[in-house]
């Protein structure tokens, strides 16, 4: 591109922002014209049970083995299971919103597609880029936790025994984790090969993992004591604030159902399978999270729970049950593999669809014709995740995640209300937007909205929709905002910095890329029309 063209683009930035920032696509365009930009299409080879398996497998390993011990020890105490209940309710409400949108917009872009068809290109890109960052960071955290549990399988209890300490690098980034990198690279190759085979692998691992969960819950309850739930400083030693802080931290454990929504282009019957897979997997996982956290806290007083591989360590301290520590380490390692597999599956599809929208380089949107997978996006994000997992300690990653997930789930709940009542309904857009603004500040406004808004839609719904609207989406908005307020300042600083990067990237690249592409398409359409007339 010539310097003159660059200067012209910069001068036209305000005009292009006005043209592109709020432009929306219809669901039909999102699933036809936009999807065709990937060249080959993803193959519809998955059934509803594949989706449930992907949702359950994607969530189980990520949360309970990675966050439970740290939250119980340092944030919520034995009341950690209450943190999981609060986070689970919020995730279930958000999953309802995802389920309805996934039926209306069965595209692989998940939240990005839902926000783009509702609020426009800029909000869609903002949400998509944030959820991508959450995926990369949380996957890096899960991969490093895999090293801890794999080491415990072989009786190694030293947290950094399998990591290489390097001098001259800042503390927190100097423990190089090569097993985590190896795992990420192997899974990246698997995901490049086939989605169906990856789903079958996940299903096998998840079945064994569920049996393993039952073993931990029963063995933990058998070897535990209810008295540990109040020792040494009561059931909630850090108070209600600690319980709520814990809910915000463990919330990232539920990001797996978002991955399930990105399978919309690979499901044979999206209208039936997506609601079952998304909401059903959240219910199953929420129950297991609560039972697992209770099992851990009855085995040991919260202040004796190990920060690294807490479940393996808990069994290792029980006389006669040392063997179980190795079993738990092996089972947890398998669960983490399944969780990473699903999360990396989802993150690649997000980037693929964002590239289809031309907001990032188009080569990331390409789907391999023989495997039917977004190979370029899979490899690129696999390398990014491996780089972070190599250097960054768990605690640093924990302080940076969750806020992006909460923001995106908050935006999707808002989008569902706006889409249902303003786009499909007969209500004025300003009316609905004012409600959403007030709802963010107070959940009590829901009562007023419920009795003043017109409930009927332009057409009766022929697909699955969230019942009792707007209550579930409104409650999701409130809970997401509330949980965000409990996060540490580090999370908000990271979010602010990443949001600035997103906006700058969009202004400097995204808006010009989409504007130029639109102009080229218009010119090509005019030329094609002229040729048709002349012939």
Residue labelled with tokens 């998940």: 110
Q: Residue 199 — very low, low, confident or very high, per pLDDT cuts 50/70/90?
A: low
Q: Is the pLDDT of residue 265 over 80?
A: no
What angle in degrees, to the nearest 10, is found between the helix axes of 80-104 and 111-119?
60
List Cα–Cα distances, 260 to 72, 95, 423, 491, in angstroms. 28, 10, 26, 26
pLDDT band at 313 (very low <50, low <70, confident <90, very high): confident
For the stretch 160-175, pLDDT in tens is 778 887 777 777 667 7
Give the number of other Cβ atoms within 10 Å of residue 301's Cβ.
Answer: 20
How many CB atoms lie under 10 A from the CB of residue 59? Answer: 31
pLDDT for position 448: 54
Residue with the bigger pLDDT between 448 and 320: it is 320
Predicted confidence at residue 38, as pLDDT, reads: 67
Residue 331 CA to residue 502 CA, distance in Å, equals 38
How much is the pLDDT for 500?
A: 92
- What global pTM score does this model have? 0.81
The residue that leads in pLDDT, 260 or 79, is: 79
- Tell me the pLDDT band of 142, cut-offs 50, 70 and 90: confident
Quote the tokens at residue 2.
Answer: 């010539």
* Separation CA 130–CA 492 (nearest Å): 13
More confident residue, 526 or 89: 89
Using only the alpha carbons of the chain, give its radius of gyration.
Answer: 24
Selection from 6-10, 38-42, 407-411, 520-524 with the highest mean pLDDT: 407-411
Distance from C-alpha of 446 to C-alpha of 427, rounded to nearest angstrom: 16
Q: Is 183 exposed, middle or buried (0-12, 13-18, 19+ CB in 10 A)?
A: buried
> Both tokens of residue 396?
């640093």
464-509 per-position pLDDT tens digit: 678 777 778 888 888 888 888 777 787 788 888 889 999 999 888 8
């Amino acid at each position: 591109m010539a310097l003159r063209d660059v200067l012209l683009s910069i001068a036209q930035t305000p005009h292009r922002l006005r043209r592109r920032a709020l432009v929306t696509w219809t669901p039909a365009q999102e699933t036809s014209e936009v999807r065709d930009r990937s060249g080959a299409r993803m193959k519809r080879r998955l059934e509803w049970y594949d989706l449930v398996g992907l949702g359950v497998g994607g969530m189980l390993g990520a949360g309970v083995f990675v966050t439970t011990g740290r939250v119980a020890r340092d944030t919520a105490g034995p009341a950690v299971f209450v943190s999981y209940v609060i986070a689970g309710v919020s995730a279930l409400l958000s999953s309802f919103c995802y389920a309805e949108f996934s039926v209306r917009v069965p595209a692989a872009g998940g939240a990005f597609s839902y926000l783009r068809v509702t609020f426009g290109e800029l909000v869609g890109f903002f949400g998509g880029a944030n959820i991508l960052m959450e995926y990369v960071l949380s996957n890096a955290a899960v991969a490093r936790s895999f090293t801890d549990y794999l080491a415990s399988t072989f009786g190694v209890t030293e947290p950094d025994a399998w990591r290489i300490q390097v001098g001259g690098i800042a503390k927190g980034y100097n423990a190089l984790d090569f097993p985590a990198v190896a795992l990420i690279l192997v899974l990246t190759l698997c995901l490049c090969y086939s989605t169906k085979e990856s789903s079958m692998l996940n299903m096998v691992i998840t079945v064994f993992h569920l049996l393993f969960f039952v073993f931990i819950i029963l063995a933990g309850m058998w070897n535990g004591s209810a008295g540990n739930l109040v020792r040494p400083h009561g059931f909630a030693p850090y108070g209600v604030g600690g319980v709520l802080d814990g809910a915000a931290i463990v919330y990232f454990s539920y990001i797996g159902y978002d991955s399930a929504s990105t399978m919309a282009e690979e499901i044979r019957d999206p209208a039936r399978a997506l609601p079952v897979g998304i909401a059903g997997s959240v219910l199953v996982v929420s129950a297991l999270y609560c039972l697992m956290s209770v099992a851990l806290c009855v085995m040991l007083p919260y202040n004796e729970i190990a920060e690294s591989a807490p479940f393996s360590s808990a069994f290792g301290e029980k006389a006669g049950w040392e063997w179980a520590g190795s079993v738990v380490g092996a089972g947890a390692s398998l669960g983490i593999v399944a969780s990473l597999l699903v999360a990396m599956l989802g993150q690649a599809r997000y980037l693929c669809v964002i590239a289809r929208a031309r907001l990032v380089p188009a080569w990331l949107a390409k789907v391999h014709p023989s495997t039917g997978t977004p190979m370029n996006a899979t490899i690129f994000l696999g390398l990014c995740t491996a780089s972070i997992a190599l250097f960054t300690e768990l605690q640093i990653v924990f302080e940076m995640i969750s806020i992006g997930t909460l923001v995106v789930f908050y935006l999707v709940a808002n989008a569902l209300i706006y889409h249902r009542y303003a786009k499909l309904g007969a209500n004025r857009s300003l009316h609905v937007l004012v409600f959403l603004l007030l709802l963010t500040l107070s959940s009590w406004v829901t009562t007023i909205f419920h009795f003043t808004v017109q409930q009927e839609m332009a057409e009766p719904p022929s697909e699955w929709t969230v019942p009792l609207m707007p209550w579930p989406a409104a409650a999701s908005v409130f809970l997401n905002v509330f949980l965000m307020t409990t996060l540490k300042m580090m999370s908000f600083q990271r979010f602010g910095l990443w949001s600035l990067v997103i906006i700058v990237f969009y202004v400097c690249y995204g808006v010009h890329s989409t504007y130029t592409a639109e102009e080229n398409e218009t010119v090509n359409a005019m030329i094609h029309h002229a040729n048709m007339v002349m012939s």
